[in-house]
Amino acid sequence: MSGTDDRIAVETADHWPDDADEDVGVVVNWFAAEGSRVEEGNAICEFQVEKVSADVPAPVTGTLEEVAIGEDEEFEQGEQLAWIRPA
């Protein structure tokens, strides 16, 4: 995909449960679909680590361009969940 340099990654590092011993989480739900407009600060997905759920807010306002980790997929702490193109 061309022009990917100006996309913003959706990450989990700031939302990882402090008391979690695991470095692997599971995306439970996407509240926004690829191609939809998202507002900075609004929850766009939910993930779970050790039965603790955390919402991930959009880091910027824009278009949810790519979902990299789908629902029910595992990911490691630090992986990008999605990419947003700022508006």
pLDDT value of position 29: 98
pLDDT value of position 13: 87
How many contiguous H segments (helices) and E segments (strands) does the chain have?
0, 8
Q: Write the CB contacts of 3 (distance below 8 Å, at least 6 apart in sequence).
A: none
pLDDT value of position 3: 52
User: What is the arithmetic mean of pLDDT over 58-68?
Assistant: 97
Q: 49 exposed, middle or buried (CB, 10 Å; 0-12, 13-18, 19+)?
A: buried
User: pTM for this structure?
Assistant: 0.88
Q: How far apart are CA 73 and CA 9, in angstroms?
A: 18
Q: Write the CB contacts of 2 (distance below 8 Å, at least 6 apart in sequence).
A: none
Which CATH architecture does the domain made up of 4-86 adopt?
Beta Barrel (2.40)
DSSP E strands, 1-87: 8-10, 24-30, 37-38, 43-49, 52-57, 62-67, 74-76, 82-86
